[in-house]
Structure 1
């Protein structure tokens, strides 16, 4: 019996003869601790199938949680499908959630629809699957600062990540062009900084998103940029800058803005206020504090910044970046969280930071040798704002490169020539969707898929066989079609033609 191709490819998969059919009589047998997986299964299958899937002691679909199971880790699962029943086992609830997504892919593609699909036989081929992820961090970063996306889109994005067994949504919440995170002690951040390109989230919306994601095995990791990429914050509170007498607008251009936070005590107090609110809303172990692309021109020109550098015994204003990140990172550590930041060299953040190398893979190796935990994010293979082809009808994107499907599939978070010690520092990989050139939700999904499918495969299974991945992706594309993910974008509308005066 041939199985529908799965993305990402399971670690071990053995087809068996026969099929199991879900129908109105199918019931679930739910072990203690497996209730969340049962709710997810009903939530995902209910709209298209209409099946109630009640709980019964003699249910033929068994969801079993056994902490004594060895070899499956936190997210692995075993799935046995026979003609008379289904057994899904895991050592942790996260494993069952991953197994639910596999079962979902094995069903007819109509199971992914959000409307009733009468007349479909909801059967799955019999198989034995044992599946464990290669890396614990399998992420996607979504920039909602440059172009705001409503929380309904974030819920949908989480659903798409979970289908591919991606387990981190990294939300880039602040930048020069917008501030989307509410901070009650500093309301102008969203009143002023949230205006361009959209709006801002409420605390209730973020809390509901975090809950929705957790129910699907996805952690939402917040990012608050500092000490650079802060023009929106400085527009709201000029006293946080290096020239408090200056009035600034939220930046309406792309690129790197040279206005950065000052280094006086009030700024550090502000950052602690913001991060305390972030930690109160987001339970994520990791909190991202940016750290990249921080011009030091203003610090060199500021008597207060030069004085701070001298008082701290630093070599000069350039060293204030590391000093600043040390204080911010220490605040997060003291609160029991792990600070996370972008690294531009592999050696520019305090050693206890978890880092995301984005300029070059070699910087990941440098960071690993320093003892950093590393999430690989090299721009030439994981930045989805680059065009995915050189076709003339490709929509505009970040200039300078093309990152096609094969480039993403070819990324390797822990290259073979790294030592075992270096490889052990790699948590996983993450794709990035910066949104300077992404004005709509459809555009965001078009740029994300199918390239994110390749990243999911790399992070869960490993790079594997390119041709085999392409063959499986052809069928998987029908799943994305069923979910309404666009294959192409329509051309932008032509500008209206002006009438000539004599017409």
Structure 2
């Protein structure tokens, strides 16, 4: 079968099911879920082949020529998010125990559609039986909209591309040194001041001192955020917001200088990298601010996890700050690393009290981890291994294999990127469960995620170029059985998926296709 990610089990047969305008959709679903599940398929038939909307009828028996969608929540044989699909010359039957399973079955069906040929005058789907379900429950892609702002319409398209590849978690990186991108009603300066930087570095951060003298800004209103979250939910994707703390916070400090140890002299960053100015851990007002912000964030994002960053927070200012030093003494802490741990544990308690869970970058392990916190392991896998061994949930996203801001081929011929070299094949070879974990510890690996930092991606077309087709490779890493993965087979299936990329207008990199640019 020409499907990415590769299904768990499949058989193909010699007959075909012809897609015709008269075919009916027979189903046992409520209207809203039905619409979400069939919309991408309907749209594809309509745009590509000129079909009108298909007729829908409730029922559970296949009639000749119908497409049957059946939800059976009590079917223990179909895992959550999984589906069984049977295509014969007469009908198509798709069964699942969850709405998301039906949705993923439809994504597979879209990829199976073949154009009319000399034998068949209609588009068709080859007869097949498929049993499919995901290997991991966290199948994530991330997007940094702070280094470069991305319009709401593009964020929705990004979600469409994710859905096609059966991703289910969108990590939305909303706050940074270089921009604050989410409206917070209680703190209007975060967007009035913090969403705009006066100019941006030109060229590579390590080799340039030129600036473009052009302000860069943008933010999402709370209405925009609701629209994005609802849109993602219609594609069975959870949006996990990230509000960075205590580091990567210059946009917040520029808006409300009292949040920093020195209390003045901050501006929204205009270059990349790590800055010494971070939120003060000694002031109670820092925690009041963060709790207020998180309350508004939680009201907009229903996700189980809230990402609080926690990475790259230099301790220089804390060492020089009387209030931070007083806090270290009064809380009986060893040093500034334990002060960061105190900071994160305090936020974790607050999130827990509000029925949410904290997730952060692996630096949150330093100085001890809050009891229910999950870890995103980015500096290699060491942090993830340590967290899993201690019984914490982990998302693997090591820079070596999961950073989609790295070059994908020869830097001489590629657009400027931060560095690294992470080819399609390298991503495809990634295994999220390290050998060092025993089977019990391995259960704590929730999955993996591709990260997209946009310092060197000034617009949406550039993002698409960096993310696809590499995210197609990662989608197979997080969905398909480890033993079935096969790179030449994947490349072959990718040729078919390109047809859909072209249909969607996706600006994917062609470097893996016969050396095309």
Would you call these one fold, judging by a TM-score over 0.5?
yes
Q: Does the alignment pair 1:299 with 2:313? A: no
Could you tell me which residue of structure 2 aligns to residue 66 of structure 1?
72
Could you tell me which residue of structure 1 aligns to residue 515 of structure 2?
none
Post-superposition shift, 1:310?
Answer: 0.8
Could you tell me which residue of structure 2 aligns to residue 455 of structure 1?
474
- Tell me the distance in 2 between the aligned counterparts of 1:378 and 1:270: 31
- Tell me the distance in 1 between the aligned counterparts of 2:243 and 2:415: 29
Post-superposition shift, 1:451?
Answer: 0.6
| TM-score of the two chains, using structure 1 as the length reference | 0.91
Q: Does the alignment pair 1:252 with 2:270? A: yes
The structure 1 segments of at least 4 consecutive aligned residues displaced by more than 6 Å after TM superposition are: none
Could you tell me which residue of structure 2 aligns to residue 371 of structure 1?
391
Q: Does the alignment pair 1:434 with 2:440? A: no
- Tell me the distance in 1 between the aligned counterparts of 2:114 and 2:300: 38
- Tell me the distance in 1 between the aligned counterparts of 2:345 and 2:308: 11
Instruction: Say if 2:146 and 2:175, in contact at 8 Å, map to a contact too.
Output: yes
Could you tell me which residue of structure 1 aligns to residue 307 of structure 2?
288
Could you tell me which residue of structure 1 aligns to residue 83 of structure 2?
77
Matches within 5 A, 1:19-98: 19-33=16-30, 35-46=32-43, 47-48=46-47, 49-57=50-58, 60-98=66-104
User: Structure 1 residue aligned with 2:231, among 212, 218, 230?
Assistant: 212
Instruction: Say if 1:351 and 1:371, in contact at 8 Å, map to a contact too.
Output: no
Could you tell me which residue of structure 2 aligns to residue 483 of structure 1?
504
Post-superposition shift, 1:384?
Answer: 0.5
Could you tell me which residue of structure 2 aligns to residue 102 of structure 1?
108
SS of aligned partner of 2:185? coil
Instruction: Say if 1:33 and 1:93, in contact at 8 Å, map to a contact too.
Output: no
- Tell me the distance in 1 between the aligned counterparts of 2:269 and 2:411: 31
- Tell me the distance in 2 between the aligned counterparts of 1:38 and 1:99: 14
Could you tell me which residue of structure 1 aligns to residue 159 of structure 2?
158
- Tell me the distance in 2 between the aligned counterparts of 1:23 and 1:109: 12
| 1:67-125 deviations in Å (ceiling 9; x for gaps) | 12123222000111111111110011111111110111111379xxxxxxxx9723211
- How many residue pairs end up in the alignment? 477
Matches within 5 A, 1:151-190: 151-190=152-191
Could you tell me which residue of structure 2 aligns to residue 383 of structure 1?
403
Post-superposition shift, 1:44?
Answer: 4.1
Instruction: Say if 2:37 and 2:102, in contact at 8 Å, map to a contact too.
Output: no
208-217 vs 147-156, greater mean Cα deviation? 208-217
- Tell me the distance in 2 between the aligned counterparts of 1:438 and 1:240: 30
Could you tell me which residue of structure 2 aligns to residue 115 of structure 1?
none
150-159 vs 401-410, greater mean Cα deviation? 401-410
Instruction: Say if 1:242 and 1:260, in contact at 8 Å, map to a contact too.
Output: yes
- Tell me the distance in 1 between the aligned counterparts of 2:238 and 2:31: 19
Name the Cα RMSD after superposition: 1.9
Q: Where does the alignment leave 5 or more consecutive residues of structure 1 unmatched? A: 111-118, 491-503
SS of aligned partner of 2:239? strand
Post-superposition shift, 1:20?
Answer: 1.4
Instruction: Say if 2:416 and 2:456, in contact at 8 Å, map to a contact too.
Output: yes
Post-superposition shift, 1:465?
Answer: 1.4
- Tell me the distance in 1 between the aligned counterparts of 2:105 and 2:31: 12
Matches within 5 A, 1:101-500: 101-108=107-114, 121-196=122-197, 197-244=216-263, 246-263=264-281, 264-344=283-363, 346=365, 348-399=368-419, 401-463=420-482, 464-488=485-509
- Tell me the distance in 1 between the aligned counterparts of 2:453 and 2:74: 42
Post-superposition shift, 1:28?
Answer: 1.1
Post-superposition shift, 1:16?
Answer: 2.2
| TM-score of the two chains, using structure 2 as the length reference | 0.89
| 1:162-216 deviations in Å (ceiling 9; x for gaps) | 0000111100000000001111000000111112333000111111111111111
Q: Where does the alignment leave 5 or more consecutive residues of structure 2 unmatched? A: 198-215, 512-517
Could you tell me which residue of structure 2 aligns to residue 113 of structure 1?
none
- Tell me the distance in 1 between the aligned counterparts of 2:312 and 2:189: 24
SS of aligned partner of 1:55? strand
Distance 1:462 1:363, change over 3 A: farther
Post-superposition shift, 1:155?
Answer: 0.5
Could you tell me which residue of structure 2 aligns to residue 501 of structure 1?
none
- Tell me the distance in 1 between the aligned counterparts of 2:29 and 2:492: 39
